[in-house]
Amino acid sequence: MNLSLDKIGAAISRSITENFFSANDNSVIFYDLEILRAKIEEVKHAFPTNALHAIAIKANPLSKILNRISKWGMGAEAASLPELYLAQKAGFPPHKIVFDSPAKTVPELEYALREGVYINADSFEELKRIDELLKKVDSMSKIGIRLNPQAGAGAIVSSSTAGEYSKFGIPVIEFRDRIIESFINYAWLYGVHIHIGSQGCSGEMLLKGAEILKDFINEVNTVLAKKDPKRHISTIDIGGGLPVKYKANDISLPVTDYAGGLRGIFEHIENSEFKLITEFGRYVYANSGFVASRVEYVKSSSGIKTAIIHVGADLLLRRCYRPDDWYHEISVLDSMGKPKTENNKQKYNIAGPLCFSGDMLASDIELPIIEPRDIIVIHDTGAYTVSMWSRYNSRKMPKIIGINTTTEEFEIIKERENLNDLFKFWS
Ligand code: LLP
């Protein structure tokens, strides 16, 4: 938990008195824009000034926030054509947009090439499509290829992408010669891309991936130098994947330490001829968000007390479907947003509103006594929550508020969904 409970309580109290968290809001999603800004600055300062930080849209696609981070000089990583459109709408210039996806169609590639965005091809077949397109399309795009360094899987299988097998990229060991051949044959191919995984990957694992990549780059560059002294791999995209702290004993990796490790591997990282791209998502967003939801009922069954709140697997999909892999701290505030801190604790389950038993945000945890109308805070919800919103049971997405803890200002990032939004979705 990054933000103190006192700060969170103060923000929620004010949002209630100023009617942002109104009687019509069962839940409100908050983003602390100061913390977000600080994270972005931390990333910027850790790396050389010419690095492109393409922040992963999949972690948080909210337009107002994308618009902000584009103004702060960041780039955007788009994992689909719609995400690419979101990036363009938010004002990211084409050379700051990185287009990744294992399923790019020919029209999507053509669009990306015409717009001049950076493209990471995911397969040999995609390289071939790009080569064909470049015969008829004038393009400013720079192009790289996603490699699987096969550095091993992290602690969370479903978000690991660099095991022996992965659906992403081309495995470097299995296809070494063919990849080198591609660099020789495609004079427009200049970059390499890896992404080891998201959360659950240690610093050693991330750096091991970078080591493997460096050895491979040296090998390719040696071959290219013999063919054409002007050609070499000039762009390295190291992906995202920095782990963040969701609970006190989680291991997090400060971005400055990671950047220090990378400097030890890539000796040309400061060279202005050389381009480094990062694609962080979780690291910049996770700790800047929290969710507040009113307790509707407190039920008792088989000696277990269950507080029913208004968000569950619709917003916190991973926590509910893969509870052993994902976790969020939970706190209790009174109905006006004052943190409850009494020592007299009881055990509770915190359940969402959805129609299945797995819709459970926490089981058997000790919390201060909970009453209906109290507010449950779920911490560190800034990444992969709103972006993974599920329509199950057709509940409406809550209002999203940006707060600035320095100026004490609020702004609406996204209005609470209304019935028309819902009807439109299902019709
Ligand atoms: N770049 C690529 C190519 C990615 O696939 C990802 C995440 C990122 C960057 C950003 O990674 P980050 O810095 O956020 O760890 N809770 C989700 C996580 C999926 C992450 C997918 N890729 C899930 O469980 O599906």
Taking only the tens place, the pLDDT of each residue in 204-238 is: 999 999 999 999 999 999 999 999 888 999 999 99
Residue nearest to atom 20 of ligand 1 (CA): 198
Burial class of 166 by CB neighbour count within 10 A (0 to 12, 13 to 18, 19+): buried
Contact call for residues 28 and 292 (beta carbons, < 8 A) = yes
- Residue 131: per-residue pLDDT: 98
- Residue 166: per-residue pLDDT: 85
pLDDT band at 422 (very low <50, low <70, confident <90, very high): very high
Residue nearest to atom 7 of ligand 1 (CA): 198
Contact call for residues 290 and 381 (beta carbons, < 8 A) = yes
Integer Cα distance of 332 and 9 in angstroms: 10
Determine the distance separating the centroid of ligand 1 and the alpha carbon of 246, expressed in angstroms.
16
- Residue 171: per-residue pLDDT: 95
Whether ligand 1 lies within 6 angstroms of the CB of 279 is answered as yes
Half-sphere exposure of 363 (CA within 13 A, CB side): 8
Whether ligand 1 lies within 6 angstroms of the CB of 382 is answered as no
Residue-wise pLDDT tens digits, 298-319: 999 999 999 999 999 999 999 9
pLDDT band at 79 (very low <50, low <70, confident <90, very high): very high
* Least trusted range by pLDDT, from 82-86, 266-270, 344-348, 366-370: 266-270
Alpha helix (H) residue ranges in 298-343: 317-321
- Residue 408: per-residue pLDDT: 78
Integer Cα distance of 108 and 125 in angstroms: 14
- Residue 343: per-residue pLDDT: 82
Specify the higher pLDDT residue, 269 or 278.
Answer: 278
Whether ligand 1 lies within 6 angstroms of the CB of 100 is answered as yes
> For residue 350, is pLDDT > 60?
yes
> For residue 1, is pLDDT > 70?
no
Determine the distance separating the centroid of ligand 1 and the alpha carbon of 188, expressed in angstroms.
27
Determine the distance separating the centroid of ligand 1 and the alpha carbon of 383, expressed in angstroms.
10
> For residue 136, is pLDDT > 60?
yes
Determine the distance separating the centroid of ligand 1 and the alpha carbon of 280, expressed in angstroms.
8
Integer Cα distance of 253 and 203 in angstroms: 7
Percent of the chain scoring above 90 in pLDDT: 86
> For residue 326, is pLDDT > 60?
yes
- Residue 261: per-residue pLDDT: 95
* Least trusted range by pLDDT, from 48-52, 199-203, 423-427: 199-203
- Residue of 145, 16, 55 whose CA lies nearest to 403: 16
pLDDT band at 360 (very low <50, low <70, confident <90, very high): very high
Sheet strands side by side (includes 360-368): 297-301, 304-308, 345-351, 360-368
Whether ligand 1 lies within 6 angstroms of the CB of 398 is answered as no
Specify the higher pLDDT residue, 81 or 272.
Answer: 81
> For residue 285, is pLDDT > 60?
yes
- Residue 101: per-residue pLDDT: 96
Give me the mean pLDDT over the 103-123 stretch: 98
Tell me which of 58, 328, 385 to substitute to probe ligand 1's pocket, judged by most ligand atoms within 8 Å of the beta carbon: 58
> For residue 366, is pLDDT > 60?
yes
- Residue 252: per-residue pLDDT: 80
pLDDT band at 198 (very low <50, low <70, confident <90, very high): confident
Q: Which atom of ligand 1 is nearest to the CA of 198?
A: 15
> What's this model's pTM, rounded to 2 decimal places?
0.96
List of residues 6+ apart from 172 with CB closer than 8 A: 147, 148, 149, 150, 179, 212, 213, 216
- Residue of 200, 267, 238 whose CA lies nearest to 98: 238
344 token code pair: 């007299």
- Residue 420: per-residue pLDDT: 98
pLDDT band at 88 (very low <50, low <70, confident <90, very high): very high
- Residue 426: per-residue pLDDT: 97
Contact call for residues 59 and 81 (beta carbons, < 8 A) = no
Taking all residues of the chain, what is their mean pLDDT, rounded to a whole number? 95
Give me the mean pLDDT over the 355-368 stretch: 97
* Least trusted range by pLDDT, from 70-79, 113-122, 153-162: 153-162
User: What one-character DSSP code corresponds to residue 144?
Assistant: E
